Amino acid sequence: MPQGLEKRVPEMPGKRGISESTSVARYALSVTIVFSLVTILYMLAAGNFFPSPIDEPASGSIVGSPQFTLFIVITGALVFLAAWSLALDLVFAKRKQHDSERELVMRLGQAAEWRDDETGDHALRVGEYCAAIASCLGWSGNELERIKVAAMLHDIGKIGIPDFVMVKEGELTPEERELIHAHTLMGSDILADSSVPLIQMAQRIAASHHERWDGAGYPYGLAKEHIPIEGRITALADVFDALTSKRRYKDAWSFDNTVVEIRTLSGTHFDPAVVEAFERALPEMKAIYDKYTSTARLFNISRAA
Ligand SMILES: [Fe+2]
Ligand SMILES: [Fe+2]
């Protein structure tokens, strides 16, 4: 592992430090139970918990007395605290599970890019670019969060491509090109048959991110709206990041030159509506680009300025 690389995954969601409320809930529940038992035992021992039906009104009964009211108030407050803590616990547990899934996907996506990208960050950048574009297409909430994570797995099928093709210097033969193209189907197979919406979206993206709007892409040669929208968004984000990144076989393009190239590919390679959203997302795209470029500079990795 290159020196310092372990420091280059600073935004993994699992590291955010979610506070635990389990101990609060347990403590509140325990106090409530002990307090209630002691109070009830005390009242029973005193023999005045229930009013005597003969002695109406309940002279000497604790029911209705200030002590009894205090007991009810304190017990109610403790029960409320316990219920609130448990509810909070459920929310935190769900969030922690969500963050764990996200972190796993991010790390898997990075692993798939390791041999093809100097930093392994291609997957992370594509996820962020997709979210920026999708947001300008009107996506929000869970769907927006989902594409940001699912797009990180777009090249997961590269895990199945032999090293001699992935790291080959120079021109690929047609057979080797076929092998590279197969990463879409391999990725789709890896992610197939999931009941999890995130993985279902990731599968659609893995299968379709090299399709082209004009039908000249692969693996199926789908065209226009036959290509899932997530695939159309990821196709643009993927090319944008590939062009602005240095690879073994090419230098990194500048941000501005890449924007021009994307515009020229509208209606052929890319969905024109996605290109329009990309135009609206340019400030956000630039912010993401700058963030990763400055990180790369920090670790002496080449990216276009
Ligand atoms: Fe790909
Ligand atoms: Fe890619």
CATH number of the domain within which 176 lies: 1.10.3210.10
In a domain, 175, yes or no: yes
Q: Determine the structural domain holding residue 64 and report its residue range.
A: 20-94
Q: Say whether both 141 and 231 belong to one domain.
A: yes
Which one of 94, 125, 153 terminates a domain? Answer: 94
Give the number of whichever ligand sits closest to the CA of residue 180. Answer: 1
Taking 80 as the threshold, does the pLDDT of residue 2 lie above it? no
Express each pLDDT in 233-254 by its tens digit: 999 999 999 999 988 778 899 9
Express each pLDDT in 31-64 by its tens digit: 777 777 777 777 666 665 555 554 455 555 666 7
Q: Say whether both 181 and 38 belong to one domain.
A: no
Q: How far is the CA of 188 from the centre of ligand 2 (A)?
A: 14
In a domain, 304, yes or no: no
Is the pTM higher than 0.75? no
The tokens describing 268, both together, are 């052929």
Q: How far is the CA of 7 from the centre of ligand 2 (A)?
A: 23
Q: Say whether both 160 and 72 belong to one domain.
A: no
In a domain, 303, yes or no: no
Q: How far is the CA of 191 from the centre of ligand 1 (A)?
A: 15
Cα separation, 200 vs 193, in Å, equals 8
| 80-115 CB burial, b ≥16 within 10 A, e <16 | ebbeebbebbeeeeeeeeebeebbebbbbbbebbee
Give the number of whichever ligand sits closest to the CA of residue 126. Answer: 2
Would you place residue 292 in the very low, low, confident or very high pLDDT band (cuts 50, 70, 90)? confident
SS3 26: helix
Express each pLDDT in 190-239 by its tens digit: 999 999 999 999 999 999 999 999 999 999 999 999 999 999 999 999 99
Q: Say whether both 144 and 288 belong to one domain.
A: yes
In one letter, which amino acid is 113? Answer: E
Number of domains in the chain: 2
